[in-house]
Structure 1
Amino acid sequence: MTIVPTGSAGRPTTPSDQGVGPLLRAWREQRRVSQLELALRAGSSARHVSFVETGRSRPSEEMVLRLAEHLDVPVRERNALLLAAGYAPRYPETPLDDPSMDALREGVERLIQGYEPYPALVMNATYDVMAANRGISMLLDGVPESLLVPPLNAMRLTLHPEGLAPRIQNLRAWRGHLLEQMERQIALRRSEPLRALYEEVAAYPLPPGTPDDKPGEEAGAEASAYFALPMRIEHEGRVLSFISSVSTFNTPMDVTVAELAIETFLPADPATVKYLHALLS
């Protein structure tokens, strides 16, 4: 599946009417860092950080970026901080179909194709699927066309009662894992589109007949058999088990690249390995 460009994944990068100070204070409080601790990390003083937050002092462009880095502010929101402080955005947001992204697209597509026969996909910050390999296409067999209209969304495909959800054997545990993952991303990015997606998928009803988790028994069995929570999914009468891993780009300098994630699904048992190699190799 070829990489498909989609719209902006985060909330608009706009300056605050109140200036950069309240934005920095909100990020600092969200990260639970004191003014003194932030000042020490950034090589400044608690007095200067206080003056910046209250608007008594206008930080330099370098200081805005330094504080944002030590607060682990996402790249998109660093642009918002710069705008609020009266500076130009530092990080571009280049569409994936731009010629300058050719090397990135080709490299990512080679990576996920090289992972075959195991499933792998590329997502943006709101879990829209930008590219996927044959392993993912295999898992989507039987999903209604209405859910496969681009842009595909990994969370909708997985949790919708007409999507993969009826085939996931440990749906309650896997659903809980995915919703917790989204909650962590919302806390990190403060993205309104991501929050809207969370509210949508969290409201999906469980498919009829979804078994209850068995306290102790099933959880204990999974804990002893696997090193991480697996997704156990039925495919053509067989139950396949996967452990997922998510990778991001190190030190991205572009908003688009910063919000890309590559999720790969590692077979969690020998039977899954054998079945995938026989089916897709």
Structure 2
Amino acid sequence: MTTTTRPVRRVGELLRDWRQSRRMSQLDLSIETGISARHLSFVETGRSRPSPELILRLAEQLDVPLADRNTILLAGGYAPAYPRHELDDPELAPVRAAVRRILDGHGPFPAVLIDRHWQLVEANPAVALFTDGAAPHLLAPPVNVLRLSLHPDGMAPRIGNLPEWRTHLLARLRQTAVGTGDAVLHDLHEELRGYPGGNCHAPATGDPVSRVAVGLRYRHDGRELSFLSTTTVFGTPLDVTVAGLAVESFFPADAATLRALGVRGGDAVPPS
């Protein structure tokens, strides 16, 4: 039996790949970080060993995800700079409490906590609005919320503007996959774009909401509900796990949706 191992990549190669992915020249990066282009070239070719401080300075300027900054440090022979705690570790208790307040306070409207691969971590009870009718295999942990949204056995048949919503989600996923260099997200994008649902390359103009943002029109109990979504992330995270967390919250986009969800007096949205 033969086993193969992936070659260990050098710190300079990793930094060069991130620089090129950000479409920056050595001169551009050297100007932004205050080091000479000659020194940067020596680092990338392995002729000079960068200090951990230099690695972090370059990684910060290149907006390298925290997990990948640790990988670059390890390639340079240094210890990781950013911890990776589990969400139920005591160190992340304030994070859990903050997320719980957001999810609970958002009711009766749906909100979910997802990780960096769009897997469901936690949700408020109102999310049952979206999961109702989905196939059991899509709801078995770990639940991927993008797969749940676009799979023909998931939410897709009940999305009234599926081409627009699908195009929006795929573009967002592709942008994140390219920006992070995450192979899991690249594979997920390839999977999801193979699902049926159509594409929409022009903004919709059928209602006031669609003129300002891509909303979600969702059929439930014989009614079409209209939502706008927001994404909340933790500012300046220093933990790998926390850096990958995001809360996706859905807000009613019209008074009819407010009434359908049992809220009276919809002053915050225009009448429908």
**TM-score scaled by length of structure 1:** 0.87
Corresponding residue for 1:100?
91
- CA distance, structure 2, for counterparts of residue 232 and residue 18 of structure 1: 46
**1:76 shift after superposition:** 0.7
The code of the aligned residue for 2:216 comes to M
Runs of 4+ aligned residues of structure 1 deviating over 3 Å after TM superposition are 222-226
RCO comparison, higher one (Cα < 8 Å, 6+): 1
Corresponding residue for 2:136?
145
Within the candidate set 54, 65, 68, 2:56 is matched to 65
- CA distance, structure 1, for counterparts of residue 123 and residue 102 of structure 2: 10
- CA distance, structure 2, for counterparts of residue 38 and residue 127 of structure 1: 31
Asked if structure 2 preserves the Cα contact closer than 8 Å seen for 1:120 and 1:132, the reply is: yes
Gaps of 5+ in 1: 1-14
- CA distance, structure 2, for counterparts of residue 120 and residue 236 of structure 1: 20
Q: 1:223 to 1:187 in 2, by over 3 A?
A: farther
The code of the aligned residue for 2:85 comes to T
The code of the aligned residue for 1:205 comes to P
**1:172 shift after superposition:** 0.8
Within the candidate set 235, 255, 258, 2:220 is matched to 235
Corresponding residue for 1:258?
243
Q: 1:139 to 1:63 in 2, by over 3 A?
A: same
Alpha-carbon RMSD: 2.1
- CA distance, structure 2, for counterparts of residue 200 and residue 262 of structure 1: 23
For 1:104-130, what per-residue CA distance to the aligned partner results, in whole angstroms no more than 9, with x for missing partners? 112201211101111111101110010
Corresponding residue for 1:11?
none
**1:102 shift after superposition:** 2.0
Corresponding residue for 1:121?
112
Asked if structure 2 preserves the Cα contact closer than 8 Å seen for 1:223 and 1:229, the reply is: no
Within the candidate set 56, 76, 81, 1:90 is matched to 81
**1:16 shift after superposition:** 6.8
Superposed, 1:146-225 pairs within 5 Å as: 146-206=137-197, 219-222=204-207
Q: Secondary structure at the match of 1:221?
A: coil
Corresponding position: 1:249 with 2:240: no
**1:188 shift after superposition:** 1.0
Corresponding residue for 1:5?
none
Corresponding residue for 1:48?
39
The code of the aligned residue for 1:119 comes to P
Within the candidate set 106, 124, 128, 1:133 is matched to 124
**1:226 shift after superposition:** 4.3
- CA distance, structure 2, for counterparts of residue 117 and residue 26 of structure 1: 45
Asked if structure 2 preserves the Cα contact closer than 8 Å seen for 1:222 and 1:229, the reply is: no
Identical aligned pairs, as a percentage? 47
Gaps of 5+ in 2: 1-5, 265-272
**TM-score scaled by length of structure 2:** 0.89
Asked if structure 1 preserves the Cα contact closer than 8 Å seen for 2:114 and 2:247, the reply is: yes
How many residues were matched structurally? 259
